[in-house]
Amino acid sequence: MDLNKQFIKTKRPCADGFRWFLKHHQEGADYQPLLDALVRAGRAGDACWLLEQFGPSDAVLEVDAIDAEAIVFAGSLLVRDGIEVDTVLVAGGSIRAGAGIRTGHKLSSGGEIRAGGAIRCGGDLTAGGHVGAQWNIAVAGALRAAGNVRAGWDIACDGAADIDGDCIAGHGIILGAEARCGHGLRAGEDLGGAAAIRAGHGIEAGGDIACGDHLEARWGIRAVGDMRAAGAIRAGESLQARRIEAGEGYGVYAGLAVREDTWAACAQVRALGRPARLFSGHWEAP
């Protein structure tokens, strides 16, 4: 793709970025070489803007490893070993690494992001597909994925999490802000959230569930340990935990997505003791 000044001007670039383009590429430039030139000039933000305007390419870059200050690539990255990037790593297509992926700031892909080791992102992580790591996933900013998010070990996200598919960790999940999961949310050990946690399917934890606001699932919620929320606990179907406790002044609700005459089968509330302020669902003493 040949990008000339008239073509770029139609996208309304910032004045400083357009002056840089006119100074260094008055006659125009090919797409990826222009992205590379911007990154080399310390203008990774302008390179990201350019990629947003003109979209991904079909190019595939296959290398043994990546160790760079910043990477903005219009196509897909296929890396046989690991990726180490000090600032931003952005690809229009997918990012796949045989080992770990680490970025100091932004990590973004128009497709999936997969790592044979851990994924460590010092800023926001955005993926147009699935995100998968054999080890941990640690995100210092917000996490946005159009597919599933899966980690063999732990998942930790300090910012808001917005996941269209499943969110599954072999060990624990820690969510530092409001979290939405379009499908199921499952932790092999503890599940903790500093704010509201909402799932379009079910929520399951092999340990405790602790939520700093409302805890909601369209299906059921189950914890091997305790289930506590600072707000309300709402489930479309059943609730099960050692202890179930909503926040002061809030209630516990099961069976919100099923008929009341089916509560005995589909909206059971199981715990060592009856939850305080249980407003819906079928309770039977153990």
pLDDT per residue as tens digits for the range 27-78:
545 678 888 888 888 888 888 888 888 889 999 999 999 999 999 999 999 9
pLDDT at position 16 over 80: no
The Cα 218–Cα 66 span in angstroms is 42
Average pLDDT over residues 254-265: 97
Specify the pLDDT at position 48: 87
Is 119 in contact with 143 (CB distance < 8 Å)?
A: no
Q: What is the mean pLDDT of residues 238-242?
A: 98
Mean pLDDT throughout 125-148? Answer: 98
Residue 217, CB-side half-sphere exposure with 13 Å CA sphere: 23
The helix-helix angle for 15-24 and 31-40 (nearest 10°) equals 110
The CA–CA distances, whole Å, from 279 to 62, 198, 217, 228, 233 equal 57, 19, 16, 16, 10
Q: What average pLDDT does range 208-222 have in this prediction?
A: 98
CA atoms within 13 A of residue 243's CA, in its CB half-sphere: 8
The pLDDT of residue 269: 98
Q: What is the DSSP string of 206-221?
A: SS-EEESS-EEESS-E
Q: Which residue has the tokens 């980690």?
A: 151
Q: What average pLDDT score do residues 232-251 get?
A: 98
User: For residue 41, what is the DSSP state?
Assistant: T
More confident residue, 284 or 173: 173
pLDDT of residue 21: 46
What is the model's pLDDT at position 29?
58
Q: What is the pLDDT of residue 125?
A: 98
Confidence at residue 13, expressed as pLDDT on a 0 to 100 scale: 56
Please report, rounded to a whole number, the percentage of residues in the chain having pLDDT higher than 90. Answer: 80
Helix axes 44-54, 15-24, angle to 10 degrees: 90
pLDDT at 1 over 80: no
Range 15-18, long-range pairs (CB < 8 A, 24+ positions): 17/43, 17/46, 17/49
Tokens 């001007």 correspond to 9
Structure tokens at 244: 């179930």
User: Could you give the angle at which helices 44-54 and 31-40 cross, rounded to 10 degrees?
Assistant: 160
Max CA-CA distance within the chain?
79
* Other beta carbons within 10 Å of 187: 26
Rounded to the nearest 5 degrees, what angle is found at the Cα of 109, between the Cα atoms of 125 and 97?
90
pTM: 0.90
CA 191-193-195 angle, to 5 degrees, is 155
Could you tell me which residues come within 8 angstroms of residue 10 by beta carbon, excluding any fewer than 6 positions away? none
- Evaluate whether 190 touches 225 at the Cβ level (below 8 Å): yes
Instruction: Return mean pLDDT, the chain.
Output: 91
pLDDT at 3 over 90: no
Which amino acid appears at position 154 of this protein?
D
Encode pLDDT of 87-105 as tens digits: 999 999 999 999 999 999 9
Q: Which token pair is 24?
A: 């260094």
Q: Is the pLDDT of residue 124 over 90?
A: yes
Indicate if the pLDDT at residue 2 is higher than 80: no
- Identify the helix (H) or strand (E) that includes residue 265: helix 263-266
Statement: residue 284 has pLDDT above 90: no
Cα–Cα distance measured from residue 220 to residue 239, given in angstroms and rounded to the nearest whole number: 6
**Residues 6+ away with beta carbon under 8 Å from 23:** none
Task: Over range 9-28, report the average pLDDT.
Answer: 50
> Residue 255: its pLDDT value, please?
98
Tokens (6 digits) for 61: 């870059």
